[in-house]
Amino acid sequence: MSDVYEQVKSVIVEVLKVDGEVLTPETRFIEDLKADSMDQFFLIDGLSEKFDVAISDEDARQIRSVQDAVSYIQSHKS
């Protein structure tokens, strides 16, 4: 797995308080991890801070899985 994947995973584990072992690229935040709107807000905020990228509200709504987050970060990292 990529370095970005591992860093995204660490943010998810920290923010959502989940076991990193259960996370796969296909893991969905709402359906699989039971994240609510506040969890999602803090997750997007954590990813923005960790990777120093601005994530618009519109883009944030499209980030629904671990892979979505990784792909977004990889394509928007400076």
State the CATH number of the domain containing residue 9.
1.10.1200.10
Q: What DSSP line would sit under the chain, residue for residue?
A: --HHHHHHHHHHHHHH---GGG--TT-BTTTTT---HHHHHHHHHHHHHHHT----HHHHHH--BHHHHHHHHHHH--
Q: What percent of the chain has pLDDT over 90?
A: 95
Counted domains in the chain: 1
pLDDT for the residue 78: 66
With a pLDDT cut of 70, the percent of the chain lying above it is 97
Q: Which domain holds residue 30?
A: 3-76
pLDDT at 41 over 60: yes
Q: Would you state the pLDDT for residue 77?
A: 83
Label residue 33 by pLDDT band (50, 70, 90): very high
